[in-house]
Chains A and B, each alone.
Chain A
Amino acid sequence: MLKIRNLHVAVDGKEILRGITLDVNAGEVHAIMGPNGSGKSTLAYLLAGREGYAATEGEILYDGRDLLALEPEERAREGVFLGFQYPVEIPGVGSMNFLKSAVNAVRKHRGQPELDAMDFLKLARQTMKLLEIDEALLSRPLNVGFSGGEKKRNEVFQMAMLEPRLAILDETDSGLDVDALKVVAKGINALRGETRAIVLITHYQRLLNYVVPDQVHVLADGRFVKSGGKELALEIEDQGYAALGLRDNSAAA
């Protein structure tokens, strides 16, 4: 589904990713771990199409198509979803109104009939129940005044509603207490399936106790330095990044 080949990415003229190669197949869950400043979020933003993130070398194929040639909204409609590390607060834009527009934009693209207000609400309520989200939260403007945990839960809620084929979740576990983490994991696991792939970007191993990955990759200084099965995550948990000879450079993001 996703093929990344020798990807180099520069931001503001500085090379952040320095030759990444990765294959993610349908049905798989991959975890990308790494210290702060290793380039994890840069990879996430590049996949979603954020302005200012340009590949200087290499390619990304999504279902055989050049992903980087697509606009952010085209990627979303083709089934790519980015769960933001820092979901953006947008005053004045109602959460539900926004999500209904998004769901219908995606459905329209897939040749599915658009949902009317009633059907949308029904679907949203089922999903909210699964994710233990208070309906009152979503009557507020998008992410405005949400706690950190509420924002992350809202990202997973949006993901569940949009039913992406490739979900990239950027530090969706950070700032969550154990209960919230379990709920978020439940949402992610509900999305798992033969036709879908999930990329979890995380600094810590604990989410991986609940969403067990097929492969784990360690990113450091813009390169994958180690790949393995789920045990690799536990190794990092036990011994830290330093044991792999990596420094945790929090100065860069």
Chain B
Amino acid sequence: MAAKTDTSEAYVHRFAEAKATLAGHGLPWLAGLRERAIERFAALGFPTRRIEEWKFTDLRALTRTTFSPAPRLANGVTGDAVGRFLPADLPSHLLVFVNGHHRADLSDVGELPAGVRLCGLAEALAEAPELLEEQLCRDGALDGHAPLALNTAFMTDGAVLMLARGVALERPVHLLFLATGDEAPAVAHPRNIIVAEAASRATVIETYAAPAAGAYWTNAVTDIVMEADASVRHVKVQAESHDAFHLAVTRVRLAKGSAYNSFVASVGGRLARNEITAVLGEGVECRLGGVYLARGRQHLDTTTLIDHARPASFSNEHYRGVLDDSAHGVFQGKIIIRPDAQKTDAHQLNKNLLLSRTAHVDTKPELEIHADDVKCSHGAATGALDAEALFYLRSRGLDTDLAQRLLIEAFVGEIIDEVETTALRAHLRRVAAAWLTQVNK
């Protein structure tokens, strides 16, 4: 192992101290998995910009600090604080986590139809660990990804959602992760596991937020396994504190005929990276969309990998960014079309709006096509607000701030409008509007 200049060794030491107390520590398969994960992490160290996938995102601000495990709090967050982050007019099955730990007192799971299991990961490891072994020990569970390995070593809690064959969950499941960001910098490693058996359907909302300011790190992993003809809609809102770090990996496996639809609104965090990896079976539909809105010195990274492994699948990606001040946006979109994936139809689009001369964005489409009978398109556009449109609005009496705001809202709203549910669209528009109001303060 090469000498590390970052704090990765500190996490390795901390693991040795903590492993006997981690969730499910009595389970040999899990203990073994955690050991392999920390070894993997020790070998990899934190990624640096020399690694291609991390070329545009510098983690040194994160890796200079050693974050302690986030404390389990018995109180400190109220139901009112929870309410602030819920969509209006959209009752859900709500699981609340504070500093990464499930809080049953704040949650409101409500009545679940037969065939649906929804609970905390720690609880599931205590009560039905056999359901999780296959999911956690899946091939490629560790990949070459250091934050993912660290999550696997330290994961303490998260959500488990299992849908039996044919079950359609009417209300969305909302996973709300709140961080209190207390004095000592703390890290939570939420691990969410979603299994949608054949022909089941659900909508999952994942929200990361902080009721108050604070410096902390969220290192989340969400694994979604979709069996044949299953359908999952996934909306994520990343609204962490402005001093927080947020690294998140969502891994989706889509079996034949399934449909996955994701929308990510990323507005919080000092540095945030949302990574989505989707492996597509035959005849599936995968739609990824999202917005990232950044100002100040925020760094927001969206990195996706769509792997067309089997024939006749459709994928569409459309992300938009709005960057003000000295903010930095990153979009990396890789599409692989394997030799077996004939009749693939894959599209990618990334548009960015730069509101200041010092804001900047790195956008990198990457297509790797190994099949010949495919349709594949990609596009990227980055520019300032349309001067002609701005003049038109001002010529009707709107001041520059309001005219700009309308145009930014329009740019963001156009893509939010692609989300299906009215209440979710309204929720996402409110998230964007809250960000915009701060711009014009």
Do A and B come together as binding partners?
yes
Identify which of A15-23, A32-40, A101-109, A132-140 touches chain B: A101-109
Q: Is the CB of A98 within 8 A of B395?
A: no
Query: A48's closest neighbor in chain B, by CB?
Result: B395
Asked whether A162 lies within 8 Å of B397 as measured between CB atoms, the reply is yes
Taking CB atoms and an 8 Å cut-off, the chain A residues in 57-84 that contact chain B are 71-73, 75-77, 81-82, 84
Query: B400 — which chain A residues lie within 8 A by C-beta?
Result: 71, 73
Give the segment of A85-93, A171-179, A198-206, A208-216 that binds chain B: A85-93
One of B70-78, B267-275, B404-412 at the interface: B404-412
Which residues on B sit within 8 Å (CB–CB) of A102? Answer: 393, 396-398
- How many chain B residues touch A (CB < 8 A): the figure is 23
Interface pair B395/A101, CB less than 8 Å apart: no
Question: Do A92 and B413 contact each other (CB < 8 Å), given the known contacts A84-B392, A105-B402?
Answer: yes
Q: What is the CB-to-nearest-CB distance from A51 to chain B, in angstroms, rounded to a whole number?
A: 7
Measured in the bound complex, the distance between the Cα atoms of B394 and A49 in whole Å is: 9
- Whether B406 lies near A101 (C-beta < 8 A) is yes
Identify B396's interface contact among A51, A76, A141, CB under 8 A.
A76
**Residues from chain A with Cβ under 8 Å of B403 in the complex:** 73
The 8 Å CB contact of A49, one of B395, B398, B411, is: B395
CB pair A76–B402 under 8 Å, yes or no, is: no
Is B373 located at the chain interface by the 8 A CB criterion?
no
Interchain nearest-CB distance for A75 vs B (Å): 8
Q: Which residue in chain B gives the minimum CB-CB distance to A90?
A: B389
Q: Which of B397, B398, B399, B407 has the most CB of A within 10 A?
A: B397
Q: Which residues on B sit within 8 Å (CB–CB) of A92?
A: 407, 409-411, 413-414
Chain A interface residue number, banded = 20 to 34
Decide if B391 is an interface residue (CB 8 Å cutoff).
Answer: yes
Do residues A88 and B398 form an inter-chain contact, with CB atoms below 8 A? no
State whether the Cβ of B387 lies closer than 8 Å to any Cβ in chain A: yes
**Per-residue B-contact encoding for A101-139, CB less than 8 Å = 1, 0 else:** 110011001000000000000000000000000000000
Q: Are B395 and A93 interface neighbours, CB within 8 A?
A: no
Pairwise interchain contact B388-A77, C-beta atoms closer than 8 A: no
B396–A162 CB distance below 8 A: yes
- A226 contacts the other chain (CB 8 A): no
Point out the residues of chain A lying under 8 angstroms from B395, CB to CB: 48-50, 72-73, 75-76, 81-82, 84
In the complex, residue of chain A having the shortest beta-carbon distance to the beta carbon of B392: A88
Check: A42 CB closer than 8 A to any chain B CB. Answer: no
Which chain B positions have C-beta within 8 A of A88? 386, 388-389, 391-392
- Chain B residue at minimal CB-CB distance from A109: B397
Check B410 against A90 for contact (C-beta < 8 Å).
yes
The one of B387, B394, B397, B407 in contact with A93, judged by C-beta atoms closer than 8 angstroms, is B407
Closest 8 CB pairs of A and B: A92-B410, A76-B397, A102-B396, A105-B397, A88-B392, A72-B394, A92-B414, A73-B394
